[in-house]
Amino acid sequence: MDDVATNRIVMKVRLRNAHYQVLQASDGRTALEVARAERPDLILLDMGLPDIDGTDLCRMLKSGRETASIPLIVVTAGRAPETKMRALEAGADEFLSKPLDEMILLARVRSLLRARETAEELALRNGTDQVLGFGEAAPGFIPPGLVALIASDPRRARAWRAALVPQISDSLTVLSRAEALNPVPGAPRPDVYVVDADLSPEGAGLRLVSELRAHPGSRDAAILIVVPESARETAAMALDLGANDLIADPMDAQELALRIKMQIRRKTQSDRLRATLEDGLRLAVTDPLTGLFNRRYALPHLARIAERAAETGRSFALMILDIDRFKLVNDRYGHGSGDAVLVEVARRLKENLRAIDLVARIGGEEFLVALPETDTDRACTAAERLRQAIECRPVALPGGAGEIRVTISVGVALGDGRRLMSGAPDIDAQVRGLMDQADRALYGAKAAGRNTVEMSRSAA
């Protein structure tokens, strides 16, 4: 979103070269209409639009039901600290000054899209839980967090803490790199790590980002890295290694406080998602053998995916998968071996899907997979990837009884969000029709000799 055509063209070329699809708007009102209608995965917004102040447009986007969860990068020719603060306070996720550094821009885009995927998954899971009668709306209250400050010099970290104390209500603690990686047993784990990129020896700051992401006790925490303004390669690498946010050094304490609050808010969302999946609800909606979701969960969640597609006009894919000649496995090797096959097939399916995708066991040897925001080509590619993942190596049988070759047949149907929007209001009926299409495609795959993928020729 930029009022200067040349800027829009340059930005479009940069993003398309990185394999992103790009929509454009030359003024604020058009931008709002495009954002509400198309639900982009990320918005880049120039502050100098001709009709709406960029800060006001930030607030409109972040307050709208359709656009609130879309990550927002503000781009401007100005570098004034007060301009940056206004944008961040209005809800911008990042503030970049022109001329844009392509390396930093693309690293930022990748990082924010990863965060968006978590938010999208949370929204889908919560919607399904509420339909099942188990979930409640996530509370708006964000509890105080614990923030760990890790600097190249303890005096520098203490100076950070002194500057932050008047700005935030969260608890602050100064840690060394060793203390961050080897916490006291039973001690509370930080929600946010603020890490100095200039830790000694050289490169230790980036290594710490990677180590925190790999450590079970800190992998879910937010990481904010402090990087010298000129260290563009370090900044881009930090984001790709797993840092959630950057702040330029020398830094402004008010900006750092705002960024910390933003990361605590996002981490709270992620924690709620994990808690939902790990609590007693799991027993009610998962298959006890494979650990996948069961039919009770899958069908209402599939309806939520269809509703989202109807709202956005984007398509989604539905697959019905069946293990070929599974009865022979039970008859020849026993039900224990059959169970081992089911568990391994479930594991491979889950390993080859995105976090936002749905995979469920809906029958004895039958599985359902749903892929939000997926077109025909991507659906066929994903189905073939799953088929190959099952066929690629045999499954070990329990008790040292050898190995067995397993294959699956896959039926694929596509739900067209644009047709769902203009069709009957009964989403559940349309989902059942889509499942029938996938079932018929599965029968076609079986008839074609099994171990194959068949695409339904009908559209939802």
Q: Which residue has the tokens 């039970």?
A: 330
Active site residues: 365
Asked, as a colleague might, if the bond just before 250 is cis with ω within 30 of 0, I would say yes
Other beta carbons less than 10 A from residue 13's beta carbon: 11
Q: Which residues contact 178 (CB under 8 A, 6 or more apart)?
A: none
Q: What share of the chain is helix, strand, coil (3-state, %, to 5)?
A: 50, 15, 35
Sheet of 43-46, strands arranged across = 43-46, 72-76, 94-97
Locate 383 and state its tokens. 């189905």
- Specify the residue for token string 């959630």: 244
Q: How far apart are CA 189 and CA 144, in angstroms?
A: 13
Both tokens of 42, joined, read 């990320």
Among residues 97, 12, 90, 11, the alpha carbon closest in space to that of 54 is found at 90
CA 169 to chain centre: 28
Which has the closest alpha carbon to 219: 230, 227, 231, 211?
211
Q: Do 455 and 318 contact (CB within 8 A), yes or no? A: no
Query: What gap in Å lies between CA 140 and CA 406, rounded to an integer?
Result: 47
Give the number of other CB atoms < 10 A from CB of residue 458.
Answer: 14
Nearest to 256 by CA among 337, 318, 193: 193
d(C-alpha 95, C-alpha 98), whole Å: 10
Q: What is the dihedral of CA 177, 181, 184, 185, to 10 degrees?
A: 180
Burial of 197 (0-12, 13-18, 19+ CB in 10 A): buried
CA dist., res. 450 & res. 410, Å (int): 9
**Pair of tokens at residue 349:** 């399916």
Strands 72-76 and 43-46: parallel
Q: With the CA atoms of 291, 392, 442 and 427 taken in that order, what torsion angle do they form, in degrees rounded to the nearest 10?
A: 40
How many Cβ atoms from other residues are within 10 Å of residue 266's Cβ? Answer: 19
Q: Report residue 365 as tokens.
A: 């040897």
CA-angle at 316, arms to 313 and 319, nearest 5°: 160
